[in-house]
Structure 1
Amino acid sequence: MSTAEPARLAWFKSSYSGNEGGECVEVSVAPGTVHVRDSKAPAHAQLAFPRSEWPAFVHFTAGR
């Protein structure tokens, strides 16, 4: 896992997120870890995945 503090991560909004205020996902890539959060609630919980597991997470969620 990354030792990067969540407050210091650089977040990027998904290119699939619209500007209408709907469902938005933000992602931050840190050494060894990919973090995911809800852009409408950035102070709430976030998911963190080892970079090696990120493709499996994307594959799983793409089918939903």
Structure 2
Amino acid sequence: MPAIHWQKSTYSGDSSNCIHVATPAAGTVVLRESDAPDTTLITTPARLGELIRTLKAQHPTP
């Protein structure tokens, strides 16, 4: 398995408590939380987009 290049979420700023995202293969998105880096969530771009849209709809920005 190739090494995964993790990218820190831009919403995390300078915080050490953050979300990392990687795309190790086409059609795959992997997420992890900085406090538990060995635990990952694997999904697809479409499913992640659906989750983000749902969360934004339920919690609109003021």
Aligned to 1:15: 10
- How many residues were matched structurally? 57
What TM-score do the two structures reach when normalised by structure 1? 0.67
Gaps of 5+ in 2: none
What TM-score do the two structures reach when normalised by structure 2? 0.69
The whole-number CA distance in structure 2 between the counterparts of 1:39 and 1:61 is 21
After TM superposition, the runs of 4+ consecutive aligned structure 1 residues lying more than 3 A away are 61-64
SS at match of 2:36: coil
| Residues 25 and 36 in structure 1, CA contact (< 8 A), matched pair in contact too | yes
How far did residue 15 of structure 1 move? 0.3
Identity of aligned residues (%): 30
Alignment of 1:1-64 (within 5 A): 5=1, 8-22=3-17, 24-29=18-23, 30-43=25-38, 45-62=39-56, 63-64=58-59
Which of the pair has more CA radius of gyration?
A: 2
Gaps of 5+ in 1: none
How far did residue 27 of structure 1 move? 0.3
Q: CA RMSD in A?
A: 2.1
Larger relative contact order (Cα-Cα within 8 Å, sequence gap ≥ 6): 1
